[in-house]
Amino acid sequence: DQQVKQNSPSLSVQEGRISILNCDYTNSMFDYFLWYKKYPAEGPTFLISISSIKDKNEDGRFTVFLNKSAKHLSLHIVPSQPGDSAVYFCAASEVGTNAGKSTFGDGTTLTVKP
């Protein structure tokens, strides 16, 4: 049973437009949700996170929205840039038990076209 799901394996957007990456989870015990960016043959890089007590967190061009009742979160990138092209992983943590230990989705490959 996959606890974190990213149903879109890929997304293609035009430079300057908004990219919206979606993620669903099933475990109500998750209290932090994170997005990581990954380039081929490299480890993931932390992008942004949100606590379960919030519904929005913004950092520059990146905004994460959390809908706890729907067990759904999304990452908005605006404006999208070609350098944003990468695989984006949604992850969830139960911080109280093991800080830094996350359950990952399968990833969404974002392609931003110039």
SS3 label, residue 82: helix
Closest residue by Cα to residue 50 from 29, 37, 68, 38:
68
Helix (H) / strand (E) containing 33: strand 32-38
Chosen residue from 13, 24, 32, 85 binding other proteins by CB under 8 A:
32
Position 63 contacts other proteins (CB under 8 A): no
Q: Which is nearer to other proteins, 9 or 82 (CB)?
A: 9
Where along the sequence are the contacts to other proteins (CB under 8 A)?
2, 4, 9, 31-32, 34, 36, 41-46, 49-51, 89, 93, 95, 98-107
